[in-house]
Structure 1
Amino acid sequence: MSDIVGELARVAGAFDQPTLTLLYRGHAKVVIAMLRSAFTRDNRTISAARLHAQVDTYLDQLRIDGFTDLPSGSGRDLCLRWMRGQWLVRSVADDGAEVYTLTSHAQDALNLVTNLTRERASLSEHRIATIVNAVRRFNTEVNPDRGARVDILNSEIARLTRERDRLLQGADLTRPSADYMLEGYGELLQLVAALPSDFARVQEAFTALRTQILGSFRAEDRHAGEVIDDYLRRTDSLMTATAEGRAFEGAFTLLRDDELLLQLREDLSALLSHPMAEDILNDVDRRDLRGTVGLIRRGIDAVLAQRNRVTATLREYIQTHNTVRDRELDNTLRQLDAELARWMTSAGPRTTVALPLLPARLDVHHLRERFHNPDDDAGPPPLRDVTTQRPDGLTLADLLAQGGPSLDQLRAAVHEALASDEPLASLGRLFDALDAPLRRPVEIFGLLHLTTNMDDFVRDKEHTEVYRTLRPDGTRRDLAVPVITPGPQSPDSPVTFAEEPRGRAPRLEPA
């Protein structure tokens, strides 16, 4: 009988992981697209305010393009929601600013989507050769039979010797196929893309270990010597307490070999300069492969920095842990408990005791906050002479042409149009009849400001008309504005203008 119940439990546990909850949430496609756009390989941390603004911008762009199935809330709300889903973590940088970083779960989800977007053959010669070589190398390193290891090494030496002699004799180089090269580059990119999530997983393991140690320190009632002994013992085993730490310890031992990193850099340069690389790799793939060594160094530095922060936090806790103060507080609480038990033996069920929640405030009439500073009485420094830095050829007319609307002239034009014997068709026709200096785009806002709060004009919300504007540099632009026409008006009613708007002016759209 198959163990379907146990298998279902294991699958359910996998689906509860933050990686799969991100991929199977309601707006997974939108969330992953925004995370991929914001966090790049060279931009692993983003300030909190900047990410909030970026998410708001992404949502606005999607709404403009017609997407309706979008997550609700502002950029800040979405970031906080992603933090609760364990896809983002917010921390304080060295400069004191709050920054967001992707968790290992989110990076795994993004890597999975990236792998699915790449075209890759499921079975190829390169894939089989890679498996065979990996099994052969692994067997060479762990085979317990000394003779078997020697035989494997002898066969490998003989194979390499034959290949070297063949090349020295002038034999032709074996030219790999395009599919073989494509599969090889694809596997390299996949391995490199998984490095950031691996390093992030180690950092999260250190953070979790720090939380466990601090929790055990606060919860257990032990002497200071026992706490220090436990701290030292756990500090020695920080790198070996978790599977991630042990894996990083082995990788760190391998990667701190400068000769090995130099060899890796040279091999990557040779692969990038291969004649077939021009047709297979794009600019993004080249940048990813070229920055592999730097990515490894940054990942190692980040993990070591996290480990140092954990050690510093625990050391500070040990140094600031005041056993005498804790004992005094514990004795005070015990005395309060004893007094409460004694009081309950004679008090009734509804008896109350008036206790102040906060201590009484001190009545201080004046508290000096700062002392005299002679620099406060010093005069301001003399102004710099900037007359020689004035732009050439700039006149008052040029400045006015770049300024706001000419309200006085526009008010006179509107008053004249309403007082004229010829009926005014619309505000747009009035604008087209104005002089060129009064037909700037900004003058439309002046007209709308003057006519929005006038009872003499009526706005048509369903139809628009085109305002043909003329900029000071001679360029033209047509803007669509709701049709505004004069309403019914008696001959004796005066024309009035409101200085402060009571309503909202219509919105301008490109024609």
Structure 2
Amino acid sequence: MTNTRAEAAYLRSVAAFRTPTLDLLHRRYAPFVVAVLSIVFTVDRPAVAVADAHAEIAEILDELRAAGYDEDDRALPSGTAREICRHWVRVGWLVPQIDGDIEVYRLTAHAVGALEITGRTGGGRTRVSNSRVRTLLEAVERLAADAETDPQARIARLTAERDALDAEILRIQAEGTAPVDDEQLLEEAENVLHLARELPADFARVAESIKAMQRDVVADLRRDVRPTGEVLREYLERGQHVMQSTPEGRAFAGALRLLGDPERIDDLAEQLHTVLAQPFARLMDADQRQELDAIGRRVELGVLEVLTAQRRASHVITGQVRTHDPVRDRQVDDLLRDVMSGLQTWTSTSSAEAPVDPVRSLPMAAVGHLRQSVSDIRPPGAPAPLSDAADDAEFLDADTRAWGGPRYAELEEYVAGLGDEFDLGSAFEGSADDTRRPVDLLGLLEIAHRNGMTEGETVSVVEAVRPDGTTRRFAFGAVTARTFRESDDD
């Protein structure tokens, strides 16, 4: 008979070892992976350019192989640094992202958790200490106090805390402060490091939960067939409140109220520097001092990582909603489904060594063949010649011609009586109202250009009158024009 408790415990253990965190520690090259990730990714450099990561990992491989560690089959993996990183992306230890204009690698929450586990187990003593127990007791006490709903009980607790603080103040005023033993201070510092090591994995889990929610929202949006207006309202609201969409995000929002104050971060850094300046800090090794000094920076980068994931998710969701087109999305899904079906069909009938012909160009649409020649390109008959006589033109409305082009005949007759030379601006101002339209100014300029003209350095300003009586002023370089004479061509 199956033991239910044993079976449940075994299934939980199997599920835990299937996570990338424990899978990393259980892998063949786990020491190498942990060592490389801890070197390449640091507190001050959570994201590394892909090209830089490949170069650094290749250098680490060369150093370890030169030291003889490649003689053990379980020590170093084979392949290039690029191939190793691609494998780490596939198994969930690295995630590639676009940061600005370059592609970078970041550690996943599982990889950060694995590094935290190895750092905690190999980084010194983990003991039941006064500081560790006090932290637990204070956390339980705070939990019980926050869960208390009786106002009298809360008042009694706060009064007791106030009395204890007053008694401590009086004691210090009377006796002064007694120095704390260095061993106790070291113990409390180790507890602080223990708590701080868990923060990067927590921040990474929050960021990854937001990214997973973003992927789910986009996938749901592509499958959504509801009216576009209803879809827009719902998904835009989810994009604006993305931090409240996951349990990790809601928990982080509460923590952000404590960490979001820049003064609190500055106070944290100042307090850490004060601690490191104390004599007991000499009892800590260099790695512990460096880790303690980097806590403020680690918190700041963790908050920034989560907020960046939040902004990116909001931007992606909003962009997807604004371009939401159910018909087009279904067409794309059908096309991708056909491609995958064709690929499966091809792989089932082809061997692994079968060559694949690349698609060098997209197929062209098939169109019918057009005629390239005709028997006679000349039309069967010439059209009737146009008449120059103005009397042949018929106008349905008296205003039709008034809104037409320049009156060249009237303008040439007017110019002929202006003498050998004339100022074009003055000539336009002196013409009749029916030849003082804006188009007539262009016609007058054309006549002056044809007959010969000289441009001056001054500016002429004229006022044109439209057929409806409205006026418009024009400014142009002064022009002196010649009157066309028959003798000029002799």
TM bin, normalised by shorter chain, reads: 0.5 to 0.7
Answering whether residue 224 of structure 2 is matched by residue 215 of structure 1, we say: no
Distance 1:114 1:326, change over 3 A: closer
Look up the match of 1:83: 89
Answering whether residue 314 of structure 2 is matched by residue 311 of structure 1, we say: yes
User: Distance between the aligned counterparts of 2:43 and 2:5, measured in 1?
Assistant: 42
Answering whether residue 292 of structure 2 is matched by residue 289 of structure 1, we say: yes
**By how many angstroms is 1:165 displaced?**
0.7
**By how many angstroms is 1:75 displaced?**
0.5
Look up the match of 2:34: 32
Answering whether residue 240 of structure 2 is matched by residue 230 of structure 1, we say: no
User: Distance between the aligned counterparts of 2:316 and 2:22, measured in 1?
Assistant: 33
Answering whether residue 194 of structure 2 is matched by residue 190 of structure 1, we say: yes
Distance 1:118 1:143, change over 3 A: same
Verify the 8 A CA contact 2:57 2:81 in the aligned structure 1: yes
**By how many angstroms is 1:76 displaced?**
0.7
Look up the match of 1:181: 185
- Match among 119, 129, 132 for residue 127 of structure 1: 132
**By how many angstroms is 1:323 displaced?**
5.6
Answering whether residue 157 of structure 2 is matched by residue 152 of structure 1, we say: yes
User: Distance between the aligned counterparts of 1:265 and 1:167, measured in 2?
Assistant: 27
Distance 1:266 1:38, change over 3 A: closer
After superposition, the C-alpha distances for 1:241-298 in whole angstroms (9 at most, x for unaligned) are 2111011110112212344334433432332222211222x34433333333333222
**By how many angstroms is 1:88 displaced?**
0.3
Look up the match of 1:8: 10
* Alignment-mate amino acid for residue 256 of structure 1: G
User: Distance between the aligned counterparts of 2:33 and 2:264, measured in 1?
Assistant: 39
* Alignment-mate amino acid for residue 321 of structure 2: I
Look up the match of 2:279: 275
User: Distance between the aligned counterparts of 2:148 and 2:270, measured in 1?
Assistant: 31
User: Distance between the aligned counterparts of 2:289 and 2:124, measured in 1?
Assistant: 17
After superposition, the C-alpha distances for 1:180-239 in whole angstroms (9 at most, x for unaligned) are 222211121122222222221111111111111111111232221122122023224422
* Alignment-mate amino acid for residue 37 of structure 1: I
Look up the match of 2:113: 108
User: Distance between the aligned counterparts of 2:228 and 2:247, measured in 1?
Assistant: 30
Distance 1:2 1:210, change over 3 A: closer
What's the secondary structure of 2:243's corresponding residue? coil
Distance 1:81 1:153, change over 3 A: same
Q: What percent identity do the matched residue pairs reach?
A: 34
Distance 1:135 1:321, change over 3 A: closer
**By how many angstroms is 1:121 displaced?**
4.3
- Equivalences, count: 335
What's the secondary structure of 1:239's corresponding residue? helix
Look up the match of 2:141: 136
Look up the match of 2:323: 320
Distance 1:230 1:23, change over 3 A: same
User: Distance between the aligned counterparts of 1:326 and 1:45, measured in 2?
Assistant: 33
TM-score normalised per structure 1: 0.61
* Alignment-mate amino acid for residue 156 of structure 2: D
What's the secondary structure of 1:92's corresponding residue? strand
User: Distance between the aligned counterparts of 2:289 and 2:366, measured in 1?
Assistant: 67
Verify the 8 A CA contact 1:140 1:153 in the aligned structure 2: no
Distance 1:47 1:361, change over 3 A: farther
Distance 1:143 1:122, change over 3 A: same
Which stretches of structure 1, 4 residues or longer, exceed 6 Å deviation after superposition?
Answer: none
Verify the 8 A CA contact 2:120 2:194 in the aligned structure 1: yes
After superposition, the C-alpha distances for 1:16-68 in whole angstroms (9 at most, x for unaligned) are 11100000001111111111111111121111112112222212211111112
User: Distance between the aligned counterparts of 1:300 and 1:361, measured in 2?
Assistant: 57
User: Distance between the aligned counterparts of 2:308 and 2:25, measured in 1?
Assistant: 31
User: Distance between the aligned counterparts of 1:196 and 1:313, measured in 2?
Assistant: 25
What's the secondary structure of 2:212's corresponding residue? helix
- Match among 88, 99, 110 for residue 93 of structure 1: 99
The 5-angstrom pairing of residues 467-486 of structure 1 reads none
What's the secondary structure of 1:90's corresponding residue? strand
Distance 1:126 1:56, change over 3 A: same
Verify the 8 A CA contact 2:243 2:250 in the aligned structure 1: yes
The 5-angstrom pairing of residues 383-394 of structure 1 reads none
Which of the two has greater helix per residue? 2
Distance 1:151 1:236, change over 3 A: same
User: Distance between the aligned counterparts of 2:114 and 2:225, measured in 1?
Assistant: 42
After superposition, the C-alpha distances for 1:61-112 in whole angstroms (9 at most, x for unaligned) are 1111111231111111110111111000011111x21111111100110011
Look up the match of 1:338: none
After superposition, the C-alpha distances for 1:418-459 in whole angstroms (9 at most, x for unaligned) are xxxxxxxxxxxxxxxxxxxxxxxxxxxxxxxxxxxxxxxxxx
Verify the 8 A CA contact 1:121 1:183 in the aligned structure 2: no
Distance 1:6 1:186, change over 3 A: same
**By how many angstroms is 1:150 displaced?**
2.1
**By how many angstroms is 1:133 displaced?**
2.4
User: Distance between the aligned counterparts of 1:260 and 1:57, measured in 2?
Assistant: 40
User: Distance between the aligned counterparts of 1:258 and 1:63, measured in 2?
Assistant: 46
User: Distance between the aligned counterparts of 2:326 and 2:216, measured in 1?
Assistant: 20
* Alignment-mate amino acid for residue 47 of structure 2: T
After superposition, the C-alpha distances for 1:368-424 in whole angstroms (9 at most, x for unaligned) are xxxxxxxxxxxxxxxxxxxxxxxxxxxxxxxxxxxxxxxxxxxxxxxxxxxxxxxxx
* Structure with higher RCO (Cα < 8 A, 6+ apart): 2
* Alignment-mate amino acid for residue 285 of structure 1: Q
RMSD: 2.6
User: Distance between the aligned counterparts of 1:326 and 1:131, measured in 2?
Assistant: 53
- Match among 51, 54, 58 for residue 53 of structure 2: 51
Distance 1:259 1:76, change over 3 A: closer
What's the secondary structure of 1:276's corresponding residue? helix
